Structure formats: structure tokens, C-alpha cells
Structure 1
């Protein structure tokens, strides 16, 4: 008999109306799973207590999911999750669980279960994917199974809300990795941004993803270059990625990109900002604090 673990974190899929809007509710996903479970399979459900809106999801939640997946002796795992930070959790699980030998399938919805929307279809797709045996980390959404490593939520309302940008693979045997308490953020350059503001942010961080223009350019501001170089010199890792959804960075294409590489920024290539943030976070989690 196939054994499937469902980790219910919260999110729209399992919400009900509350006085201030939709809120997570116990029992909603459990009831739906009873309706759609497949013959010859056994479902174990573990729900977060309390259930969380995905706006609250972070490293501690990722670690809990990673521990549950790593300790599960079965055929597949489904993670029900809100859509707002799905791209971050997708990148986190894809990298931290690289080489996993079972399907790990993220699932969410733009409308809650029992409202005539997309939730039932997404959950059924996730169940079939978890039973299907295609190893790796995926998102089941809008009739498609998407690689979770490079998810982009491109629409805040439509049922077909996600795309997946191809990401570099993480090779090697399965070695679950965990996230430690580190200070990281995604910073976005925009025309006229004060170099002092960037420097002030970097002063509070152990690492940062810097979203730059196009194939890898920034404004010609010596103070900005100095701020980047000073942060890197004190040990803050800065990984540059493009503001564009696809295409990535190509160092050397434009002279306007030279300050990035002179300062010592890392080239994130075609990584999404979320994937770059997770890569930095995992790397820094394996370095002793203060070293």
C-alpha cells in the first residue's frame, strides 16, 4: 500500500471567512483528503499548530518540513502552503532536499476548498503526483506540475498564478540541509536610490541578494560601488541577480556592470531572487556564526 504524508502548513487552500478576511481553519484539508483519497493508498496528515498564513513562513517552518520529509519512510509527501511565499518555500525545499528519492509536492490554491474554485483540482493533482513516483520537489497548480526550484508567482489573482524559471541543478547524494539564524534580505536597485540607504541596509545583513538591471548593470555611482565593496570586505556576501524574470546576468556585456564585479559581488546567473536568497542562506548556515 502506498504511503503518503501530507504536511498541512496553512494557506488559502484551507481557509474560511473570518471577521477580518480569510483565516486558516482546522479540518478543512482533512475533510477534502477523505473525499479524494485513492484506493490502495494510506494518507498520514500532520498539521501545523497553529496553521499559518504563508506571509509568516520562514526558516523555522522550512526546517520543520525538511525534518518531516527526511524522517518519512513512505512513497511521497504533499505540502499544503499559501501562495504568497510559495516561491521561497519551493526554492528552500528544492535546494535543501536536493537528491530526495521521493516526490515532494507543494500544493496551494487561489480560492479555498469548498468554494467552487481551484483548490480541489490542485489537491487532487498533488495527490496523483505524490503517488506517481516522479522524484524531486514540485508544485501542483492549475493543472500543471512545475519544478519548484525556480517558481515565480506572476499573478496575484488568477488561478494560473505560477511560472517556473529553469534553475541550475544541485548535484550529489541526498543530504538534507537546514537553515540557521542568519540575517539576509533581497535588495532592489532603482534609479536614484541613495548609496547611503543601500549601505545602511547592508550594515545589518550577513548576506544580500541584489536585484540589478537587465543582464547586469547598475548606476555609475562611486558611493554605491564603495558601499558594496565595504560590505563584502567585512564579510557580507552579496549575490547579484537580474530584475528580469528570465535571461539572467552576463558579466562583461556592459561597462555599466563593471562596478558589481569590481566590488566583489557574486554572479547569480539565471537564479530567481528567491533561489539566490536560499543559496546564500544555506551556505551561510554551514559557516559558524562570526567566522
Structure 2
């Protein structure tokens, strides 16, 4: 059987240099080959140059999806930096939903050969990728997590990720087009002019609101949101809380949101909500 490795970059494939950690060509590929089960053929796709995950975006997601499509019957291990792992996990989970593919993402907080978590995460990914269940998963810190709703909750600890359950359905589109989308966050005393200006330059937005779905009691804010939705700019609301999601109607303080025509993102993470805006016509 074939196993596809897509190595995009990230800490897992770095090594010490006089100027600090930097990508080391061949490091991840050699580590995979040393662990490869007998009878498995490795198909390697290595980004050149390797990409820091802070720079990963829609064009990279499309490239990854094209590589996955090119090997229709093979499971896939994707090595990736941790900083935008949640965005890529959401992107692949939604774009591949219902296609029967199994993708296991893998990264680490310390590079290979540094007595850290990289080797254990890679071993776990190799075990997990051979399972039959379709979907996109993350192998990290002794856990196999659905990648659709990842949250990086710690910037330093080995146990860096959690997974928030998400509801998935087949998307309208399966590739990411050139859209101006962003995640915006409500905060106390946010100037409405700032929100209006941001929305004016966007094709759609995810709005992180308070708790189970509330916002400030500011009529100008409602007017701004309504003007955007009336002009055809979708605004999808999600909670600023890590889990629990939105429940419209729970508090009167949220009534203005829903009267302004915003969408209820339910239990979606901000990353998942952003991807869902991208993958619809």
C-alpha cells in the first residue's frame, strides 16, 4: 500500500543553527522512512521552500488538497507547524468531508532529535493513519483528535491542543478562492467606526461575540452590522468562549445581533466558521 507524506514545514522539521531553529531538509522524511511499516510505499511531497505555519493560507490549503486528490486511495500524513494548525485542520476537514479520505496531521512543540515530543507524535500519526475511519485528525500529545475544531490553548506546553466537536456537512465548494475574509472580535467600548471600516473592506466576516451570544447595547453597532448584511456581506457569529457555542434568545443583550441579520455559528470555532464562509458560493 501507499502512504502519502506532505511535509509543509514547522518546528518538527527544524534543527539548531547559529541563528536559531531553522528548517532542516530531509529530517522529517528520514524519520518517517525509519518508522515505515514493512510493505508500505512512501510517496513524498515536500514544500520547497518549507513554510512557517504563520504563512500558511488558502493557496497552501489548495495545494495540499490537490496533492491529496492525486493519490485517491492512499492515507495521508501532513506535517505542519502548530501556530495555524487549527486553521488548516478546519480547512481540510470541511473541504474533504464525505470523500472517504483519511488524513492525520502531525507537528510538535520541539523538533526531532531534541528529546521532545516530535518522535512520539510522529509514531502516533503513523499508527493512526492506518485506521479505516475517514476524516482529518491531529496526532499530538498521546491523543488522536478530530481536526475540524482544534484550539491551540497553550503556546508552550506539549499538551497544546484541544478539540471542540463540530457539525460537518458537504461544502458547496472544495477549494479556496480569492475572498477578503477576516475574524473580528467584539470588545467593550469597541468604536463602531472601526468595525464599520473593517466590514467595508471584507467579503465576509466571522464575529467573535460574548458568551452564548451577546453584545454591547449600542444602537449604532446594530446599524453597522445591519448595513453590512443588507449589502450582501455575510457575518457569522461565534462565541469568544472556547466551548459551549451560541444559544440565540438566551439573553436580551443578544437580540440586536440576530435582528441585524447575522448568522448563528453555533458551536463552530472561529477557524471553522471562517473556513465555512470560504467554502460557499
TM-score w.r.t. length of structure 1: 0.93
The residue that corresponds to 1:254 in the other structure is 251
Is 1:194 paired with 2:205?
no
Q: Contact 2:148/2:272 (CA < 8 Å) preserved in 1? A: yes
- Aligned to 2:49, the other structure's residue is in SS state strand
Q: Contact 1:5/1:74 (CA < 8 Å) preserved in 2? A: no
Distance 2:19 2:166 in 1: 38
2:264 to 267, 272, 280: 267
Measured on the aligned residues, the alpha-carbon RMSD in Å equals: 1.4
Distance 1:224 1:22 in 2: 45
Once the 2 structures are TM-superposed, how far is the Cα of residue 215 of structure 1 from its aligned partner?
0.6
The residue that corresponds to 2:70 in the other structure is 71
Distance 1:122 1:242 in 2: 30
Q: Contact 1:5/1:78 (CA < 8 Å) preserved in 2? A: yes
- Aligned to 2:206, the other structure's residue is in SS state strand
The residue that corresponds to 1:289 in the other structure is none
1:71-126 Cα offsets, whole Å, 9 max, x none, are 21333001100000000000000000001323111110000011011111111111
Residues 26-65 of structure 1 mapped to structure 2, 5 A cutoff:
26-65=25-64
Is 1:279 paired with 2:276?
yes
Q: Contact 1:103/1:129 (CA < 8 Å) preserved in 2? A: no
For structure 1, the 5+ residue unaligned runs are 287-291
Once the 2 structures are TM-superposed, how far is the Cα of residue 21 of structure 1 from its aligned partner?
3.0
The residue that corresponds to 2:156 in the other structure is 157
Distance 2:250 2:28 in 1: 50
The residue that corresponds to 2:146 in the other structure is 147
The residue that corresponds to 1:181 in the other structure is 178
Q: Contact 2:173/2:279 (CA < 8 Å) preserved in 1? A: no
The residue that corresponds to 2:87 in the other structure is 88
Once the 2 structures are TM-superposed, how far is the Cα of residue 143 of structure 1 from its aligned partner?
1.0
Task: Tell which deviates more after alignment, 12-21 or 49-58.
Answer: 12-21
Q: Contact 1:110/1:158 (CA < 8 Å) preserved in 2? A: yes
Aligned length: 281
Once the 2 structures are TM-superposed, how far is the Cα of residue 134 of structure 1 from its aligned partner?
2.2
- Aligned to 1:49, the other structure's residue is in SS state coil
Distance 2:173 2:246 in 1: 29
Is 1:242 paired with 2:239?
yes
Distance 1:255 1:211 in 2: 18
Residues 3-22 of structure 1 mapped to structure 2, 5 A cutoff:
3-22=2-21
Residues 98-109 of structure 1 mapped to structure 2, 5 A cutoff:
98-109=97-108
Once the 2 structures are TM-superposed, how far is the Cα of residue 257 of structure 1 from its aligned partner?
0.4
- Aligned to 1:22, the other structure's residue is in SS state strand
- Aligned to 1:198, the other structure's residue is in SS state helix
Instruction: Return closer, same or farther for 1:213/1:31 CA change in 2, 3 Å cut-off.
Output: same
Once the 2 structures are TM-superposed, how far is the Cα of residue 58 of structure 1 from its aligned partner?
0.1
Once the 2 structures are TM-superposed, how far is the Cα of residue 140 of structure 1 from its aligned partner?
0.7
The residue that corresponds to 1:222 in the other structure is 219
TM-score w.r.t. length of structure 2: 0.97
- Aligned to 1:209, the other structure's residue is in SS state strand
Distance 1:229 1:17 in 2: 52
Q: Contact 1:103/1:130 (CA < 8 Å) preserved in 2? A: yes
Distance 2:46 2:152 in 1: 24
Q: Contact 1:23/1:53 (CA < 8 Å) preserved in 2? A: no
